[in-house]
Chain A
Amino acid sequence: MGLLNKLDDPYYGGGIILGKVEDILNWGRSKSDWYLQFGLACCAIEFMAVNASHFDFMRFGCIPRTSPRQADFIIISGTVTFKMAERIKVLYEQMAEPKYVISMGSCSNCGGPYWEHGYHVLKGVDRIIPVDVYIPGCPPRPEALEEGMIRLQEKINKQAIFNKRKRLAEEEKQELIIDN
């Protein structure tokens, strides 16, 4: 293993890692994300396939939890109808911070095939909860879901934990400057 081999090396100080607390926390968080075991529609079957032997989702450190209280992120895998939307919002609110959302499939991205005439379909789950990663496809291939997971890990690795407000404000200021 890369890191452990390095720790053997006396040059690196033998068993001591130096780093920012934030980086180490983010590293830990990104490598052990537990997800809410929750399927909605057809995409959930592909989601099940990802969990099974060919694709093995657990090598990303993802373990299914059946309670939202124990979950770090939720995968919205399928069509969100109006009747279900309320429940999804409740589930999202029950999850503990920090929490992330992956929107899997066209349906939860934008309404998918039901976009035009689906009178009972929510046109995108981002209308009720914030989404971190969107995965296109109807249904997305299992590889696509894994790619989405890698993207989510990248995002977690970069997130700010301390002085969040201050830093965000600075970033915004800079963005404004660039925009202008």
Chain B
Amino acid sequence: MGETKKVEFEYSQIDSERMRLNVGPQHPSTHGVLRLEVELDGEIVTEVIPHIGYLHRCFEKHCEKMTYPQVIPYIDRMDYICAMNNEWPYVMGIEKLMGIEVPEKVEYIRVIFAELNRIANHQIAIATFGLDAGAFTPFLYLFRDREFILSIFEKASGGRLLYNYYWVGGLAADVHKEFKEDVLSIVKQVRETNKEIADLLLYNKIFIERVANVGILPADVAISYGCSGPVARGSGLAFDLRKDAPYSIYDRFDFDVVTGHGEVGTVGDCFDRNIVRFHEMEQSCRIIEQAIEQMPMDGDVREKLPKKIRPPKGEIYTKAENPKGELGFYIVSNGTDKPERIKSRGTSFVNLSVLPEISKGYLFADLIMILGSVDIVLGEVDR
């Protein structure tokens, strides 16, 4: 054996070959059927091209063929994790077009269910993010709690996942008698589990090492890509439609807009996006508690349901704060019972577009974490 020789080199001088790698559509960490074409230089990601369309389910075509109420189930199936939130901007738009005032009780139930669904969505987001990082236990805890939330939805609407519950002018059915107590017990349970999750996953040393300073999204990039929701708020932007453009009765509640501020790393990294989701669950709990207190228990949720849904000619854009960000519907009515055209602004689609920008220059293993932290649902990306 000869002497070991010390080799000195500049990284850029190595003649390395770029490699193209295919991730998905069947991949445990792509959260559905997304395909990523990744260009690697060694272990470093130099380019990411998302290929979408594996779940294109012809949403706009269905909107042309269906009557207004028939469209609601298809909206459920866009972002199937938070179906309640999805229905809301749509029915709100038609109510505005037709000039319907919904009863007080309906508004409160809508708020409570939307916030419960926000919690359920964030639970899935954090659970699957933990799975991506290799933590299986938080997944079990979070899904246990999610089942309690689903049981409430099931009692009200009959569905576990896709509800068709928000109707134009009201709700499909009234809530049960012990609704308030049930919701409060869930809120309590969510808070308890959240404490555990903070210890178990989010402030775990190993987890922090994995996600801090990874996938940094600066605020100006977030704005220029049109990001919204926890992705934008993680970068320090206090943008929340519930506060900035209050719809329904959100101006009656006292809650904070959570933003990331670089708790363990840089502002806008994967950790910030997730901690925003985590603290938002607490804010949702606060909103629910206030709403439960103010909500009237008597009154009919179906009294304002119109017999025929035939909005006058016109167009409208309505938006609402989905758990993933701003979800908007542009509805064009031609005076008949079928919409002329409905275009939706898919939150996940917009948020996904930022992925190539923020994953450049990180390790390939980090790409999975970055994708998980953006929290997309392919049903909404492809529609």
B153 at the A interface (CB under 8 A): no
B77 at the A interface (CB under 8 A): yes
B379 at the A interface (CB under 8 A): yes
By a CB distance below 8 angstroms, the chain A residues around B378 are 41
Cα A119 to Cα B60 in complex, Å, equals 11
A83 touches B53 (CB 8 A): yes
Cα A38 to Cα B146 in complex, Å, equals 21
Residues of B within 8 A of A (CB): 25-28, 32-33, 53-58, 61-62, 65, 73-74, 77, 80-81, 124, 139-141, 143-144, 146-147, 150, 160-162, 378-379
By a CB distance below 8 angstroms, the chain A residues around B124 are 45, 48
By a CB distance below 8 angstroms, the chain A residues around B74 are 113
B77 touches A117 (CB 8 A): no
By a CB distance below 8 angstroms, the chain B residues around A38 are 26
Cα A48 to Cα B130 in complex, Å, equals 14
Q: If the complex has contacts A114-B57, A117-B61, are A41 and B379 also in contact, measured as CB distance less than 8 A?
A: yes
B143 touches A53 (CB 8 A): yes
Contact of A52 among B61, B144, B161 (CB under 8 A): B144
B25 touches A87 (CB 8 A): yes
B55 touches A117 (CB 8 A): no
A113 touches B55 (CB 8 A): no
Cα A91 to Cα B144 in complex, Å, equals 31
Residues of A within 8 A of B (CB): 36-42, 44-46, 48-49, 52-54, 66, 68, 78-79, 81, 83-84, 87, 91, 113-114, 116-121, 138-139, 141
Cα A119 to Cα B146 in complex, Å, equals 34
Q: If the complex has contacts A45-B124, A52-B143, are A118 and B57 also in contact, measured as CB distance less than 8 A?
A: yes
By a CB distance below 8 angstroms, the chain A residues around B65 are 116-117
Residue on A nearest B141 in the bound complex, by CB? A53
Interface centre among A45, A68, A139 (most CB of B within 10 A): A45
By a CB distance below 8 angstroms, the chain A residues around B57 are 41, 79, 81, 114, 118, 120-121
B144 touches A42 (CB 8 A): no
Lowest 8 A-B CB distances belong to which pairs?
A52-B143, A42-B80, A53-B140, A53-B144, A84-B54, A54-B147, A66-B28, A118-B58
A49 touches B55 (CB 8 A): no
By a CB distance below 8 angstroms, the chain B residues around A45 are 80-81, 124, 161
B143 touches A120 (CB 8 A): no
A42 touches B161 (CB 8 A): yes
Cα A119 to Cα B58 in complex, Å, equals 7
Residue on A nearest B66 in the bound complex, by CB? A117
By a CB distance below 8 angstroms, the chain A residues around B379 are 41-42
Residue on A nearest B151 in the bound complex, by CB? A54
Q: If the complex has contacts A45-B161, A117-B62, A139-B161, are A81 and B55 also in contact, measured as CB distance less than 8 A?
A: yes
Cα A117 to Cα B58 in complex, Å, equals 8
Min CB–CB distance B81 → chain A (angstroms):
6
B61 touches A139 (CB 8 A): no
A54 touches B144 (CB 8 A): yes
